[in-house]
Structure 1
Amino acid sequence: MGGSSSSEQVAETESSSFFTQEELSKLTSDFETAGVESVKPLIKKKITELNKTELNIAVTGETGTGKSTFINAMRGLLSTDPRAAKSGTTETTTEPTGYSHPTLLNVHYWDLPGIGSTRFTAAKYLTEMQFKKYDLFIIISTTRFKENDMKLAREIKRLGKRFYFVRSKIEVDLDSMREENPSFNEEEEELDKIRRDCVQKLKEAEILSPKVFLISSFKKEKFDFNQLNEELERDLKNVKKMIFVLALPNLSVKIIQKKHEILNKHIWMFATLSGELGTVPDSNFSLSSDNDVLIDAIVHFQKSLGLDDASLQRLAEKAGIPLEGLKATVQTPLLGEITTDAIMKLNYGAAVVAISALEFAVELNPILGSIFRKDSSFLMMYNILRAALKDLTASAEIVVKVACETD
């Protein structure tokens, strides 16, 4: 294929640091001529863009296919949560209804009215649902995909959008087979049969190379729920890919590790904006009590990793264990309210050592490494944040393991 084009290089840069090559060059020039204060406005602008970038995922299909239940599963909410999408066996949605992620409010799942319902015929549906606003479409069915589903897929494709076929409530099919035949033990074979049948019918409807995911919104660890999320992640680009991963429910250690990798790429920006350390005498350092950027960064890590009180409460309820019992499985002062006192209790002073140029080259863009390894205050703050993220990641992994084992 030859060398990468300039647009590919920009995309690659943005995927790791949100900055174009031109912006990185400006950071270098500004820093060398006017110091760290001169680069802060651009970094603040990029963080604001990151926080304001919206991801809109539409969930559509006929009435009663489990759209609302799926949306709740993607947001990590039980149906009893006040913020949960309403679910039921009758049509509960009469217009597109958006549901924000409980902690990342720029991520929205949209429950679209069931196509083919009394109010929304197929033709009217395509014109009224404002298809262009959505980044991805998930078409859900509980049986074979119908003609209305095919029409939707073709319209979505015409708009240049990505769509995914999801066969929901798959556990109900398997339970029915077990009831009919108590000796039924061919689950994988039956799943393959259902998948092949769906794919074949879609091909007959001229849907080329369709992918069908068999899921249970109640048993997310089984079937194709994780595979669907991995496919969505692959198809999203740059910032939207990152915020999608950060919004995923913590179903496994693998997801926690993906979140860590993304958050680790945020650290240098927060370190640049977090100001001066109070004092830095070797390991006996102190922090200024009003270091809001540092605290905000750690709160962001905490929420993204599902360690804020609200996320832990939801996980505890799902696993059927007391919240305090779940918290007791980890030993870190970074649960609950984050303060400079809590950060100091971690004794990060012992870990605050000069980071090598090689480490910067690996963890950051080489240009950024050449800039910021010259600034001792940045280096100290960078290492504090890196140590805090490592601590929170380890805690999140423990919490997920305990909750999954209990569940």
Structure 2
Amino acid sequence: MAFSSHNSGSIKETASVSSFFTQEERSKIKSDFDTGGVVKVQQLIEQKVTDLDKTELNIAVRGESGTGKSTFINAMRGLRSDDPGAAEVGTTETTKKPTGYSHPTLPNVRYWDLPGMGTTEFSAAKYLRKMKFKQYDFFIIISNCRFKENDVKLAKEIEQWGKKFYFVRSKIDDDLNSMKKQKKVINGEEELEKIRSDTVRRLAQAGFPESSVFLISSLEPSEFDFTQLNKGLEDDLNNVKKRIFVLALPNLSVEIVQRKYETLKKHIWMFATLSGGMGAVPVPGFSLACDISILIGAIVHFRKCLDLDDASLQRLANRAEKPVEELKATIKAPLLGEITIDAILRLGWGTLAVTVSAVEFTLDFVPVIGSIFGAGTSFLMTYKILRAALKDLTENAERVVSIAFKTD
């Protein structure tokens, strides 16, 4: 059978969708359907959705006082220092315990501010045990100048324990501004490369010959290596952890919105399965039926992950230094308020669903799941409505980001 480019892309998508499940789980889905039908399979999918919602991501940030840890933690959560829940900036470090800061919309994502190690004689191994290193998925080692002896000791100990770590050089904008005051005219790219080369050389001498160094400004996260750092962290996580990390990224660019879209798209079939496994509720105006609570709950979840809820829009407006009303003016009105069946009807998401055949649907779905549920009306209805809703929400989020940061 020949597939169009659209179907080829969908097949690629389905391969990544199934990565949320082990081979054993995929086999069990098929077996459960053969023995118990949709209802039995629905139980496994419901448990998987619950497990995904409970997935935790814990990121440790270690650096001396004054290196910009708090500003970095705020930037990773899309916050300014005066936003509610922001880490305090500019205070003298006195705590001896890790301090956790949850993501404003995804509380299972936490950034941990680790206190300094103390003197150079302090044991890195003892420090990591005291900091309960096993709970962290990876470590950010941050400095606003040269990485010091304690930084190197800690990195070596983290490496021995088999954990990931990343060297981050902060406040790079301050370095460039200082150079401009001294030299009047500088080549920014050349100066950045000098800083990077010198830092990499020193780390190689300290025993890290292949280390990457990310040069960032937490006050200007759209500049320098901030995007590359986030992409590097994302690529080193497994599929489940990667999912929550991407959804927790602040909307700083259209490219980030697109990555969120691709991630959320992989969840749609699970919501549809839950709808198909439960009793269908007729909806006036639809020729098919779906479970309304699941449908609306999924759309609200999409909106929050794409930073289109009121609180997220206000944070974005604060960061962009624009009136929040200017950002909201680019969004379709029904998306800003309560998501209801009337709102879904007004946006036309249901119309698309009833015009798509089950045959077309099974071509762009996970092979083992598609063969089971392809003809289910409630399942098919929910799937197509959520696909249309997610596309609409993503387009709105892209417009908001473009207005906020003046990008094309």
User: TM-score, normalising length from structure 2?
Assistant: 0.90
**What is residue 230 of structure 1 aligned with on the other side?**
231
**What is residue 5 of structure 2 aligned with on the other side?**
none
Q: Which one-letter code corresponds to 1:61 in the other structure?
A: G
Residues of 1 paired with 2:17 and 2:139: CA distance? Answer: 23
Question: Which structure 2 residues correspond to residues 131-146 of structure 1 after superposition, within 5 A?
Answer: 131-146=133-148
Change in CA separation of 1:355 and 1:248 when aligned onto 2, cut-off 3 Å: farther
- Are the counterparts in 2 of residues 203 and 210 from structure 1 also a CA contact under 8 Å? yes
- Which is worse superposed, 46-55 or 125-134? 125-134
- Are the counterparts in 2 of residues 68 and 85 from structure 1 also a CA contact under 8 Å? yes
- Are the counterparts in 1 of residues 77 and 249 from structure 2 also a CA contact under 8 Å? yes
Residues of 1 paired with 2:17 and 2:379: CA distance? Answer: 23
Residues of 1 paired with 2:129 and 2:39: CA distance? Answer: 50
**What is residue 190 of structure 2 aligned with on the other side?**
189
**What is residue 79 of structure 1 aligned with on the other side?**
81
**What is residue 320 of structure 2 aligned with on the other side?**
319
**What is residue 217 of structure 1 aligned with on the other side?**
218
- Deviation track 1:285-325 (CA, whole Å, cap 9, x = no partner) reads 4867x822111111111111111111011111222222222
Please say if 1:401 is aligned against 2:395. no
Residues of 1 paired with 2:357 and 2:87: CA distance? Answer: 47
Question: Which structure 2 residues correspond to residues 9-48 of structure 1 after superposition, within 5 A?
Answer: 16-48=18-50
Q: Which one-letter code corresponds to 2:158 in the other structure?
A: I
- Are the counterparts in 2 of residues 253 and 397 from structure 1 also a CA contact under 8 Å? yes
**What is residue 336 of structure 1 aligned with on the other side?**
337
User: TM-score, normalising length from structure 1?
Assistant: 0.90
> SS of 1:334's equivalent?
helix
Question: Which structure 2 residues correspond to residues 331-370 of structure 1 after superposition, within 5 A?
Answer: 331-352=332-353, 353-355=355-357, 357=359, 359-362=361-364, 364-370=365-371
Please say if 1:204 is aligned against 2:198. no
State the shift of 1:359 in Å.
Answer: 5.0
- Which is worse superposed, 349-358 or 396-405? 349-358
- Are the counterparts in 1 of residues 76 and 249 from structure 2 also a CA contact under 8 Å? yes
Residues of 1 paired with 2:389 and 2:94: CA distance? Answer: 44
**What is residue 256 of structure 2 aligned with on the other side?**
255
- Deviation track 1:127-150 (CA, whole Å, cap 9, x = no partner) reads 311111111100000111000000
Residues of 1 paired with 2:24 and 2:369: CA distance? Answer: 13
Change in CA separation of 1:46 and 1:60 when aligned onto 2, cut-off 3 Å: same
**What is residue 6 of structure 1 aligned with on the other side?**
none
Residues of 2 paired with 1:239 and 1:300: CA distance? Answer: 17
State the shift of 1:354 in Å.
Answer: 2.6
- Are the counterparts in 1 of residues 60 and 140 from structure 2 also a CA contact under 8 Å? yes
* Structure 1: segments with no counterpart, 5+ residues: 1-11
Question: Which structure 2 residues correspond to residues 22-171 of structure 1 after superposition, within 5 A?
Answer: 22-88=24-90, 90-91=92-93, 93-116=95-118, 124-171=126-173
> SS of 1:58's equivalent?
strand
Residues of 2 paired with 1:385 and 1:127: CA distance? Answer: 45
**What is residue 303 of structure 2 aligned with on the other side?**
302
**Count of aligned residue pairs for this structure pair:** 391
- Deviation track 1:107-157 (CA, whole Å, cap 9, x = no partner) reads 111000123279977565233111111111000001110000000000100
- Are the counterparts in 1 of residues 281 and 292 from structure 2 also a CA contact under 8 Å? no
State the shift of 1:93 in Å.
Answer: 3.9
Residues of 2 paired with 1:157 and 1:359: CA distance? Answer: 46
Q: Which one-letter code corresponds to 2:57 in the other structure?
A: L
> SS of 1:59's equivalent?
strand
> SS of 2:218's equivalent?
coil
- Are the counterparts in 2 of residues 199 and 212 from structure 1 also a CA contact under 8 Å? yes
Runs of 4+ residues over 3 Å off in structure 1? 12-17, 117-124, 275-281, 283-288, 355-362
State the shift of 1:44 in Å.
Answer: 0.7
Higher relative contact order (CA 8 A, sep 6+): 2
- Are the counterparts in 1 of residues 120 and 150 from structure 2 also a CA contact under 8 Å? no
**What is residue 179 of structure 2 aligned with on the other side?**
177
- Which is worse superposed, 389-398 or 106-115? 106-115
**What is residue 11 of structure 2 aligned with on the other side?**
none
State the shift of 1:276 in Å.
Answer: 5.2
- Are the counterparts in 1 of residues 303 and 309 from structure 2 also a CA contact under 8 Å? yes
> SS of 1:250's equivalent?
coil
Residues of 2 paired with 1:303 and 1:92: CA distance? Answer: 35
